[in-house]
Structure 1
């Protein structure tokens, strides 16, 4: 789907438009979540509040101006929509974002503040996406896929370049999974630059999109999606995303929504980090014992999205 060269090119292309987010060591906490040295990559501090700004910006900058003349449209659980709304503002064109019914009120309001036209439609992303594709066809708008697009995946992969620059001795990287674009891009970069690194994806119990594919040995569509985490809920991924994950990712573990909520509360209480539920997925996997590590290991974990979920 993409190569390390694609990711390096994306890093250069998007550099003037995105932030190099910090990576911090988790120290001096009252309730440790692992014996390992834990490093958090704070993509919650990225423009629009998530890593999605990287992929949407790379997609924008990879397109000719005339292709976006009628605006940009996408389907999203929230974070990708925000990134697309910002990309549209950079380009000076309108954005229309179709969001799932489970998208939080906070993200819907934020989309409007970024200037996007917002339509709420569909219980899961795949249904919402059908509406977005129809709109693109009718209006001649440019469609930005949240994960099954090489330019988007390459943009998301730039997170791994920064993480390795900061934590070159990382042994394992924990990555939240929705449609799979982030873990696909990051895994290509990580395995190309440090083949020994272990990559673990984290999915909701109620939306095991990629784990179901890996277990079946083929692309499958889930019979139902019950997770309330809109940014991690997807009924079916893309064939090339599945193949990339199959070839590069070492394991995928499942956690429940409540564990992510408690992890978001942990992040706020211990570190003052305002994370959405997807951003807390890695901490949830550690707190629940779905992944365990020893004192001699270094673990990199993404806080991939911002939100007030853990504050209340």
Structure 2
């Protein structure tokens, strides 16, 4: 099993390459806990992945380096490998799923790697990378199931304990398991009473399922917009380490992740990608027993595509009660819209869209469906609007 000494060696090797990212207090993010954020979204390449990738490549022999580097990634490991290989003067090829965010693909190319897009998911890209390795003799840099990579990621755990006294729990995103394996090793070796929790997306929960079943297993599907943790196959070494060091793994929905991204932007002025926001989502929506605890969430990356970000913001607004569309059944006569608008205005919401639907065949000819889009304060305000509309005699449609 990987030793703590190797994590310390990785920390030494990474000096001047990876940033010691800030650990910032987030007192307004989640009520009832002393929450801090480890801002790996502000790391070189926008993700923690440079740590493991650089340490792994830096330890290769001259002969291994001469054959070149090959890797597979949904984006963040790709950028870490590209930067590390270029920094060390080595040719790199990275296989990426064709659905990877354009920003991550272009950044990987900009950092010096040859990118090969592979149809399908991360696991399909992995299979292609293994095939190319056999064909070319290049050295394969696994994104998570590798001792050196894990040791590099574990340097985050060392930094957390150095930056904050009295940590009760550290919450970490989980995809294949490389990040949580390294962080948990460091934390539990130096502060065994500190809890370490993992968080996965509900639609890509292979590691969480295996952890709770007590045996390694892969999944047939991985569906989430959090591409950094969209992994079907947990690492075998990672699974052994997680079983030994991690206290629990929970899942969060894509809607909860979207709400966490929005909260980080609004309250902390931080941009997080889906994977990076999962620990905050777990805290915000009460998936972990953290009341009254001093908690660190590892915000693992900030490389979110701007096209996805706009959709995530809209979903986050809806999830947090900041945006809603109500549908009402109306008799189509003068004054109805004015009355509805007055009730909404008196309760402090802002109407942003109005739509009449006269096409529903189940409605009387003299009736219609009125859809009113609103900007609201929270879920409580939405419920107040519903109640006042019903009290005024309006019927709410589903």
Q: TM-score range by the shorter chain?
A: over 0.9
How big is each residue's C-alpha offset from its partner over 1:240-285, in whole Å with a ceiling of 9 and x where there is no partner? 2111101110011101122212211211111111111111111111
Post-superposition shift, 1:228?
2.8
Question: Tell me, what secondary structure is at the counterpart of 1:89?
Answer: helix
Offset of 1:309 from its aligned partner? 5.4
Shift of 1:70: 2.9
Q: 1:199 to 1:122 in 2, by over 3 A?
A: farther
2:183 maps to 1:198: no
Question: For the residues of structure 2 that align with 1:192 and 1:292, how far apart are their CA atoms?
Answer: 22
Unaligned runs of at least 5 residues, structure 2:
311-398
Of 96-105 and 153-162, more deviation after overlay is shown by 96-105
Distance 1:34 1:185 in 2: 29
Give the structure 2 partner of residue 161 of structure 1: 158
**Bigger proportion of residues as strand:** 2
Q: Tell me the secondary structure at the aligned position of residue 281 of structure 1.
A: helix
- Equivalent positions of 1:239-258 (< 5 A) are 239-258=236-255
Q: Does 1:299 align with 2:295?
A: yes
Q: Deviations over 1:10-32 (max 9, x none)?
A: 111111211111100013x3xx3
Match of 1:94 in 2: 91
CA contact (8 A) 2:82 2:113 kept: yes
1:110 to partner: Cα distance: 1.1
Q: Which moved more, 1:197-206 or 1:136-145?
A: 136-145
Shift of 1:292: 4.4
Which residue in 2 is equivalent to 1:184?
181
Map of 2:134 onto structure 1:
137
Contact 1:268 1:274 in 2 (8 A): yes
Is the contact made by 1:102 and 1:230 (CA closer than 8 Å) also made in structure 2? Answer: no
Q: Which runs of 5+ in 1 are unaligned?
A: none
The one of 256, 260, 265 equivalent to 1:259 is 256
For 1:209, the equivalent position in structure 2 comes to 206
2:59 equivalent in structure 1: 62
Asked whether the 8 Å contact 1:277–1:309 carries over to 2, the reply is no
Q: Is 1:152–2:154 an aligned residue pair? A: no
- Residue 217 of structure 2 corresponds to 220
Q: What TM-score results when the alignment is normalised by the length of structure 1?
A: 0.95
- Tell me by how many angstroms 1:127 deviates: 1.7
Greater RCO, 1 or 2 (C-alpha within 8 Å, sep 6+): 1
TM-score by length of 2: 0.75
CA offsets 1:181-217 (integer angstroms, 9 cap, x no match): 0100111111110010001100010111211212222
Q: Which residue does the alignment assign to 2:393?
A: none
Q: Equivalents in 2 of 1:265, 1:114: separation in Å?
A: 29
Which residue pairs with 1:4 in the alignment? Answer: 4
Partner of 2:169: 172
Structure showing greater Rg: 2
> Aligned runs of 1:37-48 on 2, under 5 Å?
37-48=34-45
Counterpart position of 1:25? 25
- When structure 1 is superposed on structure 2, of 56-65 and 100-109 the one drifting more is 100-109
**2:112 is the counterpart of 1:115:** yes
Aligned CA-pair RMSD: 1.5
> Partners in 1 of 2:273 and 2:71 — Cα distance?
21
* Secondary structure at 1:274 match in 2: coil
2:374 counterpart residue number: none
2:269 corresponding residue in structure 1:
272
Distance 1:128 1:103 in 2: 11
